[in-house]
Amino acid sequence: MKFFDEARIEVIAGDGGNGAATFRREKYIPMGGPDGGDGGKGGDVYAVADRNLNTLIDFRYKRTFLAERGENGRGADCYGKGGDDIELHMPVGTIISLQETGEIIADLDHDGKRVMIAKGGRGGLGNLHFKTSTNRAPRKKTMGQEGERKSLNLELKVLADVGLLGMPNAGKSTFIRAVSSAKPKVADYPFTTLAPNLGVVRTSENRSFVIADIPGLIEGAADGAGLGHQFLRHLQRTHILLHIVDIAPFDPEADPVSDAHAIVEELRKYDEELVNKRRWLVLNKLDLIPDADERQERIAAFLEAYGPVERHFEVSAISRAGCQEVVFAIQDVLDEEKAAAQAAADAAAAARAAAGIEDEEEAADADELDDDETDYDEEDDDEIRNS
């Protein structure tokens, strides 16, 4: 299946049904009065995050999605049926924004999240609502409201804890194969990886994390060289970036230090926040330097020329040497971040409970609901008076 991480669609919520203006006609009841029912509400359009999906290909060819219209009201106090809602299932990590303004209206950041992206129109009122003491035979009705119509951009940012980046043929795909069950394509030519690959790394029975491998970057990617920056969005949600560096390139003119700095500069051109993320160096392909002394000299020379780095690892992805050290270091950091986030959430919940904020918010929500219902009734009363 092809990997699509962008799409443009149009969603149209259902229109509300029209109200009816009818009168009761029964034998021996000459003046039965109005009995026109209301129209049904139009169907809504929802976006649902589905962990079983990993691409937006379903929205690549079908671009328009229409919810059902509400039925019209009928006589004998018959109200129209509401239109059925529709659900659009999208991969977890999809961001939905308006094409016109770029405003983000939904971020499907966890499985099962359900967000209304287009609201159906309200049904019209039948003449039953317009009966008064002075107007006992109203012929007035209202038409149903139109449903919302929106042109949307869909952008998928995969949810991964760790992201791999580096030059083509640095060994990213080999590394993810070594530490997870993912089986991306590996070959001896550049740009073997053409789409992001995800792998689950399990460190124990109850501890694991997700790692993402994106296509390699080259200098000038910001100007469209290679595959450009089109896949860097998939690194924005990660907690740790692993910068894979080929310490023993086949090309004698290649400079690993210059290549590593070029990758960092491309990150800076794309998003300053990516540069500020925790980024570790993974010096790969040490198996191509059999002499231990030469290997250490080359590593020391690289680190001195590259500059300060938070942490670095020395591995051979093809033989899996050193890979487990990287995996367990990542797991420890992720566990610490998770524990800190949970502690902060618990402290905030305790503070809210102590201050009684939860009860106040529930009361405020109830008041808002009452206000909304009151406004609706007042609008209907105004409409009746104007008739």
Q: Mean pLDDT, to the nearest integer, of 152-169?
A: 83
| Predicted confidence (pLDDT) at residue 72 exceeds the cutoff of 80 | yes
Mean pLDDT, range 179-197, rounded to an integer: 57
User: Between 268 and 370, where is the model more confident?
Assistant: 268
Per residue in 231-240, pLDDT (tens digit) is 677 777 788 8
Nearest 5°: phi and psi at 313?
-130, 150
pLDDT of residue 65: 93
* pLDDT of the residue at 385: 42
What's the length of the chain? Answer: 387
Residue 317 has pLDDT above 50, yes or no: yes
Rounded distance, CA 233 to CA 215, Å?
12
The reported pLDDT for the residue numbered 51 is: 83
Least trusted range by pLDDT, from 59-63, 105-109, 157-161 = 157-161
Instruction: State if pTM tops 0.85.
Output: no
At 186, the pLDDT band (50, 70, 90 cuts) reads low
pLDDT at 38 over 80: yes
Q: Is pLDDT of 85 > 60? A: yes
Question: What is the arrangement of strands in the sheet containing 114-118, beginning at the earlier edge strand?
Answer: 86-91, 45-50, 114-118
Report pLDDT for 155.
86
Is residue 220 scored above 70 in pLDDT?
no
Q: Largest Cα–Cα distance in the chain?
A: 111
In the chain, which ranges are E strands?
Answer: 6-12, 45-50, 64-66, 86-91, 94-98, 104-108, 114-118, 149-156, 162-165, 197-204, 207-213, 240-246, 278-284, 312-314
Q: What is the structure's pLDDT at 366?
A: 53
Question: Has residue 190 got a pLDDT over 60?
Answer: no
DSSP secondary-structure letter at 311? Answer: -
Q: Is the pLDDT of residue 195 over 70?
A: no
Average model confidence (pLDDT) across the chain: 80
**Residue 290: burial class (beta carbons within 10 Å; 0-12, 13-18, 19+):** exposed
Does residue 177 carry a pLDDT above 60?
yes
In the block, which residue shows the tokens 């009928």? 74
Q: Are strands 240-246 and 94-98 parallel, antiparallel or unpaired?
A: unpaired
pLDDT range class, residue 1, cuts 50, 70, 90: very low
Express each pLDDT in 239-260 by its tens digit.
888 888 888 887 777 888 888 8
